[in-house]
Amino acid sequence: MSITVYTKSGLCGMCKATERALASASIGYTELHLEDVGQAQIEEWKTTLGMNAPIVVTDTETGSWSGFRPDKIGELASSAAA
């Protein structure tokens, strides 16, 4: 399972909540900063995933999403436990 969390630099409540929830569920992830991503990729994510930070990109059936999504994190935890 590969999970990358693209966060905003500085104070981002939804970014921190996502990271805490993933850690609490013992789900490993890589953190990268949105400021380091190309503008074309950002525009694609806005269109396909939404405009909220963080952007969570997975290679799982759960799929990728934007913003703090405890339901999606729960799905990841369930699939990791299976």
How many other CB atoms are there within 10 angstroms of residue 46's CB atom? 13
How many Å apart are CA 50 and CA 35, to the nearest integer? 17
| pLDDT for res 22 | 97
Residue segments in the chain with a per-residue pLDDT below the cut of 50? none
Nearest to 4 by CA among 28, 24, 26, 20: 28
Query: What's the pLDDT at 80?
Result: 77
pLDDT of residue 34: 94
Give pLDDT, residue 26.
94
Count CB neighbours of 67 within 10 A: 17
Question: Can you give the pLDDT at residue 10?
Answer: 84
For residues 5 and 53, give the distance between their C-alpha atoms in angstroms, rounded to a whole number: 9
Between CA 77 and CA 56 the distance in angstroms is 14
